[in-house]
Structures are given as C-alpha cells and as structure tokens.
Amino acid sequence: MDNKNVYCVIMAGGIGSRFWPMSRTSFPKQFHDILGTGTTLIQQTFERFLNICPKENIYIVTSSIYKDLVSSQLEGIDDANILLEPSRRNTAPCIAYAAHRIRKENKDAVMIVAPSDHLVLKESAFNKTIDCALTQAKNSGNLVTLGIKPSRPDTGYGYIQFEEDPDSDLEQVRKVKTFTEKPDIELAREFIHSGDFYWNSGIFIWTIDSILDAFAKYLPEVNDLFVDIESALGTDKEAAAISKVYSMSESISVDYGILEKAKNVNVVLSDFGWSDLGTWGSLFTQIKKDKEHNAVVGKNVVLSNCSDNMISVPEEKLVVIQGLNDFILVDTNDVLLVCPKADEQKIKQIVNDLKMNKNGHFV
C-alpha cells in the first residue's frame, strides 16, 4: 500500500489517573519517561509510526493545555498536525475530528488510531501486524482493531471475543463476535480458558470512508456536528469551530458508540510485546526485578525484608523501607502513595475523591 495514503492519529489528551501521583492533570503520563529509557511514551509512539507513514501524515489529538508539551517533545512536528481539543469528550469526538480533518486532505486515506502511552517491545512484529491490518481495512472496508494475546486474566482490560472470518484470506484476521469491558476476575478467567478472547489494545485501523460511514450510521449527532464545520477545518476558523462543536458533543467512546454496534468489525490477532501501561501494576510487569521481586525506579532505595513491591521515588531522595510486601509505593515532590497492589484499581477513585474536596490541586 502506498504509505502516502496512510495516516496515523495519536490520541494524547488523557490524564492517566490510574498512574497518579506521577501522572497529573498538568503533566500526564504520556509526557513522562516512565521506563527510564531516556524518551517519553509519546516520543516512543511518534517514532514508532515514523516507520509506517510520513511525518506529515501523523496527527496528535490532545488537550489545548498540552500543546506546548507536544511541541517541545516531538521535534519537527508542524503546529498544523496538532489538533487541540477544548474539552475532554472521550474517543469518539476525538476520532471524528481527526477523520474529518484528514478527509479534507486525502479522501483515499487509511487511518490508524493509537493511544500515545502504550508500550511495544517487538517493533518488527508490530509493523507486520499494522501492515496486515491496513491490508484488511483497505480490501474489506471493515473496521479493524488489534487484539492482544492475553497472558493473564487481567480485570483492567477490555476483551474481544472472535470467530472465524470466511471472507478474509489473512491468517491473523478474525471476525469480532463481542466486546466486553473490564470483566471481574472470574469472568476474565473464563475468557482466558476459552481461548477465543483477546485483550482490546485500543488501536484501530480503517479507511476514512468506512469510519465516517459508521459515524453517520451509529453516532449521527456527533457526525453532523463535524460535517457542519468541515469547511473550517485546516483554516484560521478551525479553533472557534471546534470549540463550538465540543461544547455541543456528547462524551462517548468509539468502542461503545460504534464498534460494539457495528457488524463489520475485524480483529487482527497480535503478539508484539504490548502493554497499555495503564496502572502501576502493568509497569511492575515491565521493569527488571531484584532477587526479592521488587521493581524499583530510583537510585537510592534501600530495602530490607521487602518483596513483590512496585516502588517509584525521586532519584535524589534516599528511601529506606523495612518489611513491605506486595505494595505500590510512589513518592513525588508533594505526594506519597502507599497502596496494596491488589487494590490498584482503586487509585482512579482516590483521584476522583480528591477532585471533589479541598485536595484537588494534588491531581
């Protein structure tokens, strides 16, 4: 496929509240070097897609408050390729915005949508998977998502149930049967045991025509808002038009608004060393452990009788811990979090509670 018709949309407007207190509203996790590699998550994502399409075909959709962060971290990106959201409306309006903007530029475009903060360890396998998905999306006109082979019954991920697709000649491609969002542990175990469920990566591939037809069919109110302002996109009137549209648009995910309803959805079965790095527990699985199975980010940490902990502290700070087992401990300049690893899904609720009281400035 001619990569001049391939476009990538990187979604970078999230707050990453499950990664609090490192991830804050003013400086969310996609702009952090969480893994200590010397590059931030959004930089890694941007570099990954430079191998797939031209730089001028990569768009970043983010909150208007992160424009300077994006510009400073992505060297050479044009301001015109940074699409600014005036408010958060989940993924459907974000994708509609990008799709209408791209259609105005190239009606033959095939569009990849990816979060800015995911980890990919096997770049070559990822590129081959994307090539497969692009071919399927172009040839079939279907909506395509990447499913990740699960390694454990994780309750923090959505799951995709699949079946054979007699219409596809590609070995990795299946027809999506159902989507299930974040099941409880018993249901997650059943999914893993069945063998026909993969994790939902949140990475999507489709032609511009296919996704906009789906918006017109399943989210017509959202679609109509962007149709009405399409002539303003790419002009000096864009910001004002988008501000008006976002004030009127509902907040809804593309998964719930379109993919769970559409009949023409494929999944590409994938295994490329993926993690969404959505929680401290997911980071724990990616970091080298000491002999007591502690994952430590920080240079001056002294542990005694400690095991199975996820610890992240400032490099310049001496931290001494005695007798801690199976906990998350995160220290920043102004916040200390100590939480059992088993309760990591409660961190998001903690952040929501803080927003509701006088401690909101800490989030």
What's the token pair of residue 191?
């999914």
Question: pLDDT at position 345, please?
Answer: 83
Element (H, E) at 175: strand 173-180
* Surface-to-core class of residue 355, CB atoms within 10 Å of its CB (0-12 exposed, 13-18 middle, 19+ buried): middle
Order of all β-strands in the sheet with 336-340: 295-297, 310-312, 327-331, 336-340
Confidence of residue 35 (pLDDT cuts 50, 70, 90): confident
Q: Mean pLDDT over residues 113-117, rounded?
A: 97
Cα distance between residue 9 and residue 242, in whole Å: 17
Put residue 149 in one of left, alpha, beta given phi > 0 → left and psi -120 to 50 → alpha: beta
What three-state secondary structure class fits 307? strand
Question: pLDDT at position 357, please?
Answer: 87
User: Has residue 85 got a pLDDT over 90?
Assistant: yes
Least trusted range by pLDDT, from 57-66, 99-108, 162-171? 162-171
Q: pTM for this one?
A: 0.94
Q: Mean pLDDT over residues 231-256, rounded?
A: 97
User: Has residue 37 got a pLDDT over 90?
Assistant: no
User: Has residue 290 got a pLDDT over 80?
Assistant: yes
Where in the chain is CATH 3.90.550.10? 3-275
Cα distance between residue 211 and residue 202, in whole Å: 15
At 244-280, the pLDDT tens digits run 999 999 999 999 999 999 999 999 999 999 998 888 9
Cα distance between residue 342 and residue 185, in whole Å: 12
What three-state secondary structure class fits 205? strand
Does residue 357 or residue 139 have the better pLDDT? 139
Question: pLDDT at position 42, please?
Answer: 98
User: Has residue 20 got a pLDDT over 70?
Assistant: yes
Cα distance between residue 137 and residue 150, in whole Å: 24
Question: pLDDT at position 155, please?
Answer: 84
At 138-173, the pLDDT tens digits run 999 999 999 999 999 988 899 999 999 988 889 899
Question: pLDDT at position 68, please?
Answer: 96
Confidence of residue 1 (pLDDT cuts 50, 70, 90): low
Radius of gyration of the chain (CA): 21
Q: Mean pLDDT over residues 314-331, rounded?
A: 95
Give the contacts of 348 (CB within 8 A, at least 6 positions apart).
17, 18, 20
User: Has residue 191 got a pLDDT over 80?
Assistant: yes
Give one DSSP letter per residue of 72-97, joined into a string: HHSTT--GGGEEEESS---HHHHHHH
Distances (CA, A) of 134 to 99, 114, 147: 16, 14, 14
CB of 335 within 8 A of CB of 351?
no
In the chain, pLDDT over 70 holds for what percent of residues?
A: 99
Query: Which long-range contacts (C-beta less than 8 Å, at least 24 apart) are formed by 221-230?
Result: 221/249, 221/250, 222/92, 222/93, 222/96, 222/249, 222/250, 222/252, 222/257, 223/96, 225/96, 225/249, 226/96, 226/97, 226/100, 227/100, 230/100, 230/103, 230/104
Give the contacts of 347 (CB within 8 A, at least 6 positions apart).
17, 18, 20, 279, 280, 337, 339
Interior/surface letters 89-108, b for 16+ CB within 10 angstroms, e for the rest: bbbbbbbbbbbbbbbeeeee
What three-state secondary structure class fits 337? strand
Which stretches of the chain are DSSP H helices?
A: 41-50, 67-73, 91-105, 123-140, 185-194, 208-218, 220-229, 238-248, 254, 280-284, 347-356
CATH topology of domain 3-275: Spore Coat Polysaccharide Biosynthesis Protein SpsA; Chain A (3.90.550)
Cα distance between residue 330 and residue 305, in whole Å: 18
Question: pLDDT at position 135, please?
Answer: 97
Going by the DSSP 8-state scheme, the letter that residue 24 receives in this structure is: B
What three-state secondary structure class fits 334? coil
Q: Which residue, chain included where needed, has tokens 């590059």?
A: 39
